[in-house]
Structure 1
Amino acid sequence: MVPNDGGRRAGPAMRPVVQETYGPADLGAVPIFAGGFINFGYWQAIEPTGPLDEAARIRSQQDLYRHVLDAIGLPGQAELLEVGCGRGMGCELALREYGPAAVTGLDIHPEQLQRARHAHADRLRAEPGRLRFVQGAAERMPAADGEFDAVISVEAVQHFPDLGAFAAETARVLRPGGRVAVAGFFTVDDAPGRPAELAGLLDSFANGLDIARPVTALTGAWAGAGLTGVRVESIGSQVWPGWDRWLSRWWAPGTWPRNFRHAWEQGILDYYVLTAARPPAR
């Protein structure tokens, strides 16, 4: 991986709330994020009235990655980049089930990268070059121009300060014809009061960990970066009810973590999978 700085500005410093949440607080060790994943889950295959145990929870998180990887149509022997890889569980799933030539996990937080390297030490030793973890920001990726066939990001985009820079970097590191898929939650529109509404409902928006932006902020940024074929899929019905049911093991209705479902039902927030492509070379 050879950086191509091209005179671009330095990437943003890690915001303190992100540094704490994924460092000393170690969100991935919290029981609600079982199995080392850190996402809300895709619950389509989980029986809505059946037993809900840790195995089902882990499957929901794996299935979110599967849904993203299916949406991108990962070509065989692809070079894949995950932006915001956390502990690298999604990278490992992609290698195990989708057969790319290599996967690079990128994360801004050095402690998360240490956890990823520890969790996947056997894979890193057994197949050197197929899996690697590197530190960097979504807004300034340490990668060469056109290095990857595909870029994914699963439930990290709500932390990225500059979606325009993320879009530009994604377009830069993709090869012609390469594709990107992002899973994450956004406001449903750009009504001026949305950030305040979410801050009043959810601590993660009030403390700045999650940034309230409309889904069009990302689609517009992609278009501005020259990506084409932008598609937006709402998957809120497969995320919020299952996530809320899982949270009910720890929190009562009306407590802030369960307000994610409330925000969705009130038409403020939704969960999306977005895809786009870098145009093929002429």
Structure 2
Amino acid sequence: MTQADDRPGGMRATVRETYGPADLSSAPVFAGGFINFGYWRPEDLDGTPTVDDRVRSQQDLYRRVLDTAKPLGGARLLEVGCGLGVGCALALAEYGPALVTGMDIHPQQLERARRANADLLEEDGPERLRFVRGAAERMPFEDGDFDCVYSVEAAQHFDDLSLFAAEAARVLRPGGRAAVTSFFAPDPAAAPRLAELLDTFAEGLDIARPPTELTDALTRSGLTGVRCESIGSSVWPGWDHWLSDQWKPGTWPRNFLHAWEQGLLDYYVITAMRP
């Protein structure tokens, strides 16, 4: 994800704390071990969402990304910023890949991922599922190792999107696909306002950048067919509806919806292919 020593590929203190001792995955709003805002169905906005609804929304965000790279049967997949690895397990169970590699920069997250997936690791072994420490900007893999590189709600932490794009292009085989979903600031000038509204931007956990910073970097790295699609309408209203039973209006987590409504922030799926 990010850095500790001013070199891209290290780990910033805010990332180290949030995903280490603070263990964001244990927060009730991220039920199920997934750490994302979710991809919500229209019917989820009626009534009070259940924990099952919340978990499904997070799983559906993974499905939304992985579906862009199908078919994945027999493929070698890399998830960048895998967290607890529950998304890796979903990919393994539902898409039939030959191998899923979960990569994360945080050693405590990798320890949790191995515990959370102990049964799968024992059953399938490293031939089908493995967890590796590495940074988005410096991936510990050989050229052309993967058929698909994907990332779910982690790119907002990456220090250098150009280095990430170059690394993604390097480790993809010809014909391989990259798929990234995260939130970006359409207007870079919005960064100060986002810091006022949202603690994660004020504290430096999330970085305000336009989606073009990533799409342009993917193109410069030699990937083709780069596409960027807004999915904010399927993310922000559902996320805020889920929060409404736990957080009062005006509290900072509910400002994500306000930021989207004001055009300061949006959620995207960005895809590309290595020719």
The runs of at least 4 consecutive aligned structure 1 residues that moved more than 3 Å come to: none
Q: Which runs of 5+ in 2 are unaligned?
A: 1-6
Report how far residue 188 of structure 1 moved. Answer: 1.5
Which residue of 10, 27, 37 maps to 1:30? Answer: 27
Code of the residue aligned with 2:158 in structure 1: it is F
Moved more, 69-78 or 266-275: 69-78
Are the equivalent residues in 1 in contact too, given 2:44–2:53 (CA < 8 A)? Answer: no
Question: Who is 1:127 aligned against?
Answer: 124
Matched position secondary structure for 1:179: strand
Q: TM-score with structure 1 length normalisation?
A: 0.93
Q: Which runs of 5+ in 1 are unaligned?
A: 1-9
Are the equivalent residues in 2 in contact too, given 1:43–1:242 (CA < 8 A)? Answer: yes
Which residue of 51, 56, 64 maps to 1:54? Answer: 51
Question: Who is 2:74 aligned against?
Answer: 77
Which residue of 9, 12, 15 maps to 2:12? Answer: 15
Question: Who is 2:193 aligned against?
Answer: 197
> Going by fraction, where is helix more abundant, 1 or 2?
2
Are the equivalent residues in 2 in contact too, given 1:23–1:112 (CA < 8 A)? Answer: yes
Tell me the distance in 2 between the aligned counterparts of 1:156 and 1:20. 15
Question: Who is 2:141 aligned against?
Answer: 143
Question: Who is 1:240 aligned against?
Answer: 236
Tell me the distance in 2 between the aligned counterparts of 1:93 and 1:33. 16
5 Å-filtered alignment, 1:171-210, equals 171-190=169-188, 193-210=189-206
Are the equivalent residues in 1 in contact too, given 2:103–2:133 (CA < 8 A)? Answer: yes
Are the equivalent residues in 2 in contact too, given 1:189–1:215 (CA < 8 A)? Answer: no
Tell me the distance in 2 between the aligned counterparts of 1:222 and 1:82. 17
Cα 1:140–1:22, aligned 2, differ >3 Å: closer, same or farther?
A: same
Question: Who is 1:154 aligned against?
Answer: 152
Report how far residue 72 of structure 1 moved. Answer: 1.7
Tell me the distance in 1 between the aligned counterparts of 2:204 and 2:160. 14
Tell me the distance in 2 between the aligned counterparts of 1:67 and 1:46. 17
The RMSD of aligned alpha carbons is 1.0
Map Cα deviations across residues 13-48 of structure 1 (whole Å, 9 max, x no partner).
210000000000000000000000000000026432
Code of the residue aligned with 1:64 in structure 2: it is L
Q: Does the alignment pair 1:277 with 2:273?
A: yes
Report how far residue 247 of structure 1 moved. Answer: 1.0
Map Cα deviations across residues 244-265 of structure 1 (whole Å, 9 max, x no partner).
0111122111111000000000
Tell me the distance in 2 between the aligned counterparts of 1:194 and 1:86. 28
Question: Who is 1:259 aligned against?
Answer: 255
Tell me the distance in 2 between the aligned counterparts of 1:275 and 1:268. 22
Q: Does the alignment pair 1:214 with 2:210?
A: yes
Report how far residue 11 of structure 1 moved. Answer: 5.0
Q: TM-score with structure 2 length normalisation?
A: 0.95
Tell me the distance in 2 between the aligned counterparts of 1:94 and 1:276. 19
Cα 1:244–1:72, aligned 2, differ >3 Å: closer, same or farther?
A: same
Map Cα deviations across residues 207-262 of structure 1 (whole Å, 9 max, x no partner).
00000000100001101111110011110000000000111122111111000000
Cα 1:45–1:79, aligned 2, differ >3 Å: closer, same or farther?
A: farther
Q: Percent identity?
A: 66
